[in-house]
Amino acid sequence: MIVEMKKVSWRREQRLILDQINWQIQKGEHWCLVGLNGSGKTSILDLINGYLWPTSGEISVLDQRFGEIDLRELRKKIGWVSTSMQQRLHGYETIENVVLSGKHASVGVYEKVEESDLEKVRDLLKDWDCGHLQGRIYQTLSQGEKQKVLIGRALMASPELLILDEPCTGLDIFAREQVLQMIDQITKRADSPTIIYVTHHIEEILPCFTHTLLLKHGMVAQQGGSKEVLTQEKLSDFFETALTVEVKNERNWILLH
């Protein structure tokens, strides 16, 4: 079991932000988490990473129950990409150092660096089509380049769980497709981490995402196999508006009426 949430609620300033979330992610599955702005997606991810503590309910991640584990050790097994991370990183570092810092899930590099680490950094930058950017300062990159470097960073520690919180935000359609195809490639590897992919855009849900959870006002509206969840009927109900779902290249495209 990769993630298990049992009746998890999170309350903040008298407001129930997450309400009785039950969610199980098994090894071999890849999940999309979809919901409108403010529905609680990032809060769920913060709970999984131990940045937030549930008001009630139980959470286990990578078979370890919260309350009984060293969160710093756990976080090394979780790769994490989000736009808020861009503000937390030291932007004046080289992209090599940004990727390297992923080894210890730290901001900046403080540990001894092995030659094998540097080799891995170079391989990851190449894998992510950033080989030509070597030596560049992170904050001078374009949004699309930054996002690819951040995914490389998240993979540096060979995580068991990879969390991508809106990784395609700010990318043009070509950069977006490139990132999506690269994520697809990761899932095809024998040693692929389990992926949780957060998006607002249904068409980003590639066939490799076996499962989808629809979150609304902090509650699970639907969850299950992506094919079962992403139907015209369920999505119309979820978005509370009549819409048409067109399937193209095994992806669902939404047309509003």
Which of Mg ion, ligand ATP, none interacts with 211 (beta carbon under 5 to 8 A by kind)? Answer: none
Please identify, using beta-carbon distances, which residue of 41 and 120 lies nearer to Mg ion: 41
CB of 238 to ligand ATP, least distance (A): 14
12 binds, among ligand ATP, Mg ion, none (CB under 5 to 8 A by kind): ligand ATP
Quick one: CA dihedral 12, 16, 20, 23, positive or negative? negative
Residues that bind Mg ion (CB under 5 A): 41-42
**Contacted by 40, from Mg ion, ligand ATP, none: CB < 5 to 8 Å by type:** ligand ATP
User: Is 42 or 187 the residue whose CB approaches ligand ATP more closely?
Assistant: 42
Nearest approach in angstroms of CB 163 to ligand ATP is 12
Q: What residue ranges bind ligand ATP (CB under 6 A)?
A: 12-13, 17, 35, 37-43
Question: In the complex with ligand ATP, which residue's Cβ is closer, 130 or 154?
Answer: 154
Nearer to ligand ATP, 40 or 79 (CB): 40
Minimal distance, residue 19 CB to ligand ATP, in Å = 11
Question: What's the closest the beta carbon of residue 12 comes to Mg ion, in angstroms?
Answer: 14
DSSP structure string for the chain: --EEEEEEEEEETTEEEEEEEEEEE-TT--EEEE--TTSSHHHHHHHHTTSS--SEEEEEETTEETTSS-HHHHHHTEEEEEHHHHHHS-TTSBHHHHHHGGGGT-SS--SPPPHHHHHHHHHHHHHTT-GGGTT-BGGGS-HHHHHHHHHHHHHTT--SEEEEESTTTT--HHHHHHHHHHHHHHHHSTTPPEEEEEES-GGG--TT--EEEEEETTEEEEEEEHHHHS-HHHHHHHHTS-EEEEEETTEEEEEE-
Closest to ligand ATP by CB, 37 vs 87, is 37
Least distance CB 154 / Mg ion (angstroms)? 17
From the list Mg ion, ligand ATP, none, partner contacted by residue 101 (C-beta under 5 to 8 A by kind):
none
Residue closest to 25 by CA, chosen among 59, 68, 75: 59
Q: Which is nearer to ligand ATP, 17 or 157 (CB)?
A: 17
| Min dist. Cβ of residue 40 to Mg ion (A) | 8
